[in-house]
Copies of this chain bind each other. A is one copy, B any other.
Amino acid sequence: MHAYFTEEGSVEAVNARMGQNVSPRLATVMASLVKHLHAFAKEVELTQAEWDYGIDFLTRTGQICSGERQEFILLSDTLGLSMLVDAINNRRPTGATENTVFGPFHVEDAPIREHGATISLDGKGESCLFEGRVTDLDGQPIEGATVDVWSDNADGFYDVQQPGIQPKWNNRGRFVTGPDGRYSFVGIKPVSYPIPDDGPVGQMLGHLGRHPYRPAHMHYLVTAPGFQKIVTHTFVGEDPYLESDTVFGVKQTLVAPFEHISGATEWRSPFDFVMVPDATEDHRLADSIEHAAS
């Protein structure tokens, strides 16, 4: 007799249905997805009304998405999935700079500026000197590393969120290290801000008793030939949201000093980036993605 669907054998019934010529990686990913999805429904004994609510929630999440709004990424972020995928794919030895989430506000080809230049162009906020070195794991300086930086302004918005209000390239810039591996620039002490919370994800956070805020941070994308790229932030140590970042982006090693200094610049935040050699690229999914996209 054929094995029809049963509550007990639900995972096997679904996964046995896959054809013979499926990409091995796609088969692995889907079989695991079905296994864990069914385990969830069984563990909580999901009711029909809860299932209805879930279908409606996912539909609303998809329908609010637009060119400027990606609610499924917000959902992934607030459930810790984005940070988990980042962690799985960026395991590094102790001493190397840790990754964190990329975020939606990076812009390619920001102006390359001189060391020490000011990236804050709107005159707002408390000025802060960001400086440090880019080195390898042995502490040797890396020459020719590009330190691409971006942050919100003192009102909590990135320039791309306020075109026509903020100057273009406000609080953005790229800095290329010399033989000493040093970088430095003057920005502002960044401020905390909420993720967009007027959609389904914001409602979810409300029902879970969570706030939508990210602690203040400066974004960095550090690249150098022969080394793994670093996608990370540094955080302002005393931020009230440091221990409750709504996207779970904070790591202990990324909490940078912010020191009050005297002079025209009010703050100083030193931070060194430690890069690891580029590993062989992981081609696990290349096949199945190409297959799926075809």
Contacts and interface: CB of A to CB of B under 8 A. Distances in A.
A254 B142 CA distance: 70
A48 B219 CA distance: 19
Contact of A33 (B6, B40, B87): B40
Contacts of A250: 4-5
Contact of A89 (B48, B87, B252): B48
Contact of A49 (B38, B47, B286): B286
A248 B42 contact: no
Interface string A24-63: 0011111011111111111111111111010100111111
A22 interface: yes
A223 interface: no
Interface in A65-108: 65, 70, 72-73, 76, 79-89, 91
Copies of this chain present: 2
Contact of A5 (B11, B59, B63, B251): B251
Contacts of A47: 85, 89, 282, 284-285
A2 interface: yes
A51 B80 contact: no
A62 B252 CA distance: 37
Interface of A is mostly: helix
Interface residues of A, number: 89
B209 A19 contact: yes
Nearest to A65: B59
A23 interface: yes
Interface of A: 1-2, 4-7, 10-11, 13-14, 17-23, 26-30, 32-51, 53, 55, 58-63, 65, 70, 72-73, 76, 79-89, 91, 203, 207-210, 242-244, 248-252, 282, 284-286, 288-289, 291-293
Task: Please give me the 7 A-B residue pairs with the lowest Cβ-Cβ distance, nearest first.
Answer: A62-B62, A19-B209, A14-B80, A7-B87, A36-B40, A5-B248, A36-B36
